[in-house]
C-alpha cells in the first residue's frame, strides 16, 4: 500500500489493479472499457511525455502542452436514485480505493454479488459512460464526481453550465500532467507528489483560463452556499466518497438489498474478476477559493480488480 497523502479536501484516490498488487498511477476499482489512455471526456493530441527528472531524490516534472485540448462535458446521472442501502454506500465507498483498512475479501464478494449490481452501477462509473455517477474512474485513478455535484446543485447540467466549467478545469490539468508525470508501480509517494505539484502549476499556467472559469462555483461551494454539500468538511477520501454515493444513489431501504453489506465480510468463495482496473484523475476539480486544488487530493495506491468494469 502506498502512503495516503491528504490535503484540505479529498477529491481523488489511488486504487488497486489487483488485490495485493499495484498498478500505474492511480488505477480504480473497476476498469473502464477505454484502454487507450486518452480520456473520453476530452480530445487532445497526445505527445510523448518528457522524462521525469529528479532533484535530490524527489521527482520533478512540468505541465505538458494542452494547446489542442478540448473538454467534452459528461453530465451527471442524477441525485437520489435510491439504488443503494446504507450498508452498500459504506462498502462501495470503502472498496473503490486502496487503503490500509480495506478488506479485500469483503470487497471481492461485494463486487461479485448480483445484489449489488444496481448500486455499483450508480455509484461507480467510468469516463466512457454516457453519464457519470458518484465516483468516476478512467485509466489511472478514482475521483468523486465533483463537477457533476456542482452542476446538479446549481440546477444546470448543460455543457454551458458552471459544473461543466469545473469539469473542464480538472480535465485540462489531467491532460497537462497525467502523461507528463507518470506514477510508477513502486512509487513511494514522491512521484505522486510531483504529479500534484504539476497540477498546481498547470492551474496557474497552461490551464489558467479553465481554472479561472471554474471560479464560477466558489460562492455556491462556500459555507451555506447552495453547493456546499459538494465540498464536505473532511480530509478523508473514503468519507467523501460515501457522501457522494449517498447523494447520487442513496435512499434504498436496508432490507431491499444487503447481500453486499454485512454479508460481504463472511462470503469468501465469490469469483474474482481479474480485469485490470485503471482510472485517470479525470474528475478531481480544480479552482481556487472553495474549490479544491491539486494538493487537495487524497491518494491511496492501486485499485482492486475485484470491481466490475464500468461500474456494472
Per-residue pLDDT of the chain (312 residues; tens, 9 = 90+): 222 222 223 455 554 433 222 222 233 444 333 333 334 444 444 344 444 555 555 667 999 999 999 999 999 999 999 999 999 999 999 999 878 899 999 999 999 999 999 999 999 999 889 999 999 986 667 889 999 999 999 999 999 999 999 999 999 998 999 899 988 877 777 887 898 899 899 999 999 999 999 999 999 999 999 999 999 999 899 999 999 999 999 999 987 654 544 443 333 333 333 333 333 333 333 333 333 443 333 333 344 556 655 555
Helices (H) and strands (E) in the chain, counts: 9, 8
Which CB contacts under 8 angstroms, 24+ apart, belong to 176-179? 176/63, 176/64, 176/66, 176/202, 176/206, 176/207, 177/61, 177/63, 177/64, 177/202, 178/25, 178/140, 178/280, 178/281, 179/37, 179/46, 179/47, 179/49, 179/64
152: nearest Cα among 210, 211, 229, 209: 229
Looking at residue 147, its pLDDT comes to 97
| 302, β-bridge pairs | 15
Burial class of residue 51 in the structure, from the number of CB atoms within 10 Å of its CB (0-12 exposed, 13-18 middle, 19+ buried): exposed
Alpha-carbon torsion 165, 217, 127, 26, what sign?
positive
Degrees to nearest 5, angle at CA 98 with 249 and 240: 40
Contact 289, 144 (CB under 8 A): no
Q: Of all helices (H) and strands (E), which one includes residue 175?
A: helix 162-177
Contact 298, 10 (CB under 8 A): yes
Looking at residue 255, its pLDDT comes to 72
Q: What is the CA radius of gyration of the chain?
A: 18
CA–CA separation, 88 and 110 (whole Å): 8
Looking at residue 56, its pLDDT comes to 56
Amino acid at each position: 500500500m502506498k502512503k495516503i497523502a491528504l490535503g484540505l479536501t479529498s477529491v481523488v484516490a489511488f486504487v488497486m489493479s489487483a488485490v495485493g498488487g499495484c498498478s500505474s498511477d492511480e488505477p480504480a476499482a473497476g476498469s473502464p472499457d477505454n484502454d487507450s489512455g486518452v480520456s473520453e471526456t476530452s480530445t487532445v493530441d497526445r505527445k510523448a511525455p518528457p522524462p521525469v527528472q529528479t532533484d535530490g531524490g524527489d521527482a520533478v516534472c512540468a505541465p505538458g502542452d494542452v494547446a489542442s485540448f478540448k473538454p467534452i462535458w459528461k453530465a451527471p446521472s442524477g441525485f437520489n436514485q435510491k439504488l443503494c442501502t446504507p450498508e452498500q454506500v459504506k462498502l462501495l465507498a470503502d472498496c473503490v480505493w486502496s487503503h490500509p483498512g480495506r478488506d479485500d475479501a469483503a470487497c471481492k464478494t461485494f463486487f461479485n454479488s448480483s445484489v449489488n449490481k444496481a448500486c455499483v452501477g450508480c455509484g461507480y462509473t467510468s469516463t466512457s459512460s454516457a453519464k457519470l455517477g458518484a465516483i468516476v474512474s478512467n485509466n489511472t485513478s478514482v475521483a468523486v464526481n465533483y463537477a457533476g455535484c456542482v452542476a446538479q446543485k446549481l440546477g444546470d447540467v448543460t455543457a454551458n453550465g458552471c459544473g461543466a466549467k469545473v469539469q473542464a478545469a480538472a480535465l485540462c490539468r489531467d491532460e497537462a500532467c497525467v502523461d507528463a508525470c507518470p506514477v510508477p508501480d513502486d512509487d513511494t509517494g514522491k512521484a505522486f507528489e510531483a504529479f500534484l505539484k504539476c497540477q498546481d502549476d498547470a492551474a496557474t499556467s497552461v490551464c489558467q483560463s479553465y481554472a479561472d472559469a471554474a471560479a464560477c462555483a466558489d460562492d455556491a461551494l462556500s459555507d451555506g452556499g447552495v453547493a456546499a454539500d459538494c465540498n464536505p468538511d473532511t480530509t478523508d477520501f473514503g468519507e467523501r466518497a460515501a457522501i457522494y454515493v449517498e447523494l447520487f444513489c442513496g435512499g434504498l431501504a436496508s432490507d431491499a438489498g444487503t447481500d453486499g453489506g454485512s454479508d460481504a465480510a463472511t462470503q469468501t468463495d465469490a469469483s474474482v474478476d481479474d480485469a485490470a482496473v485503471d482510472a485517470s484523475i479525470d474528475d478531481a476539480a480544480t479552482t481556487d477559493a472553495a474549490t479544491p486544488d491539486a494538493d487537495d487530493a487524497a491518494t491511496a495506491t492501486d485499485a482492486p480488480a475485484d470491481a466490475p468494469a464500468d461500474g456494472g
